[in-house]
Amino acid sequence: MLKYIFRRILISIPLLLGISFLTFVLIQVTPGNFFDSLKLNPQVSPETIARYEALYHLDKPLLQQYFYWLKNLIKLDFGYSFFYNCPVSSVISGRLFNTFILSLASLIVTWTIAIPLGIWAAVHRNRLTDKILSVFSFAGLSMPSFFLAMLLLFLASQWGGLPLGGMRSANFDDLSDGGKIIDLLAHLVIPTIVISLASIASLQRIMRGNMLECLRQQYVLTARAKGLPEHRVVYVHALRNAVNPLITIFGYHLFDLLSGAALIEIICSWPGLGAVMLTAVRAKDLYLVMASMMMGAVLLLLGNLLSDILLAWSDPRVRYD
C-alpha cells in the first residue's frame, strides 16, 4: 500500500507541471493583461504602464515568464499579486482559514444529513416520507443558491436573530472564548445552509439510488431468507456495498474545501478565497490565479488518492498491490 501511495505521489509531479503550464499559457493567450484596465485611465501614460509590466516581468516572452514563476515556486515563493500589491501567499493566508471553516461546516452538515436521508428514503421507498424527500431534493437542486442566500438574509433582517452576512461581529474581540465561538457559529448559519442545501439534495438522491440498487441484489434476499434482522440487512450488508461510489465523491468534495464558493461569499460577505479568486481570474491577476489553480490541483489529486485509499479500506475487493 505504501508503495502504491508513493508511486501515486510521484506520478502527480509531472501532472502538476502539465497543469501549471497549461493554466499559465491559457491565461496569457486571452487578450490583454491586468494593467489594461489602466489603459482606459486618461491620467496614466503608456510609459507608466510599461513600468508596471516590467516590475512584474510581463514584458518578457511567455516561456521565460513561466520558468521564472516555476523557479520561484520551488523556493515556495508564489509571486506577487498585481491587484493587492503584496505577495500572493499573504493574500491567500489571510483568507485560507475563513474558507476552510465555511467549507468544513458545510461538508459536515451535508454528509451527516444527506447519507442518513438517502438511506431512509431508500428503505421507505415510495412512502410519504420518500416522496416529501424527493420534492425537497428537486427544490433544493433547482433553487439558485444566490437567490436562496438573498432570501435567507432578507428573512434574517426581517425577523432578526441572525447576523446579516460577515464572519465576526464588530465587538468580536471583546467577547469571551465561548462568546467568540457562538458568534462565529451564528455567522456560519446562513452561508452553510445555502451551500449545503444543493449538495444535500444531490447526495441524498445518489445515496438513495445506490441503496435501492443494493437492496435489490440477491445477497440481500439471501440475508433476509436466512433470518437476519432487517437493520443488519440494511446497515451491514446493503450499506457497505452502496457506499462505494460515495467515497469517490467524497474525494472530490475535499477539493471544495479550499476552493470556496464565490457567489455565496460575495452575497454573505464571507471573507473567503472564492470571491478573491473570482476577481483574480476576471482581472487577470496572473500569479494569484496560478496559486489558486495549483492549490486546487493539489487538493484534487490528494482527494483522489484519499478516496482510493478509503475505497481499499472499505471494499475488500479493491487491492492496489
The correct pick among 3, 10, 85, 231 for binding another protein (CB under 8 A) is: 85
Site pattern 93..112 for another protein (x: CB under 8 A): -xx--x--------------
Q: Does 57 bind another protein (CB under 8 A)?
A: no
What is the residue whose three cell numbers read 504602464? 49
Of 101 and 220, which CB lies nearer to another protein in the complex structure? 101
Find, among 68, 70, 71, 91, the residue nearest to 81 by Cα.
91
Q: What span, in angstroms and rounded, lies between the C-alpha atoms of 172 and 142?
A: 36
Q: Which 13-32 positions form the footprint of another protein (CB under 8 A)? A: 30-32
The correct pick among 4, 21, 66, 83 for binding another protein (CB under 8 A) is: 83
Q: Provide φ and ψ at 231, rounded to 5°.
A: -65, -30
Least distance to another protein, CB of residue 44, Å: 4
As separate numbers, helices (DSSP H) first and strands (DSSP E) second, the chain gives: 15, 2
Instruction: Give the number of other Cβ atoms within 10 Å of residue 315's Cβ.
Output: 14
CA distances from 157 to 161, 163, 170, 185, 194 (A): 8, 8, 17, 17, 16
Q: Provide φ and ψ at 175, rounded to 5°.
A: -80, 160
Least distance to another protein, CB of residue 103, Å: 15
Q: Does 84 bind another protein (CB under 8 A)?
A: yes
Percent of the chain as helix, strand, coil, to the nearest 5: 75, 0, 20
Q: Which 268-297 positions form the footprint of another protein (CB under 8 A)? A: 268-272, 275-276, 279, 282-284
Q: Does 40 bind another protein (CB under 8 A)?
A: yes
Least distance to another protein, CB of residue 182, Å: 18
Q: Does 48 bind another protein (CB under 8 A)?
A: yes
Q: Which residues would be at the binding site for another protein (CB under 8 A)?
A: 30-34, 36-49, 51-52, 54-55, 80, 83-87, 90-91, 94-95, 98, 150, 153-154, 157, 164-168, 170, 265-272, 275-276, 279, 282-284
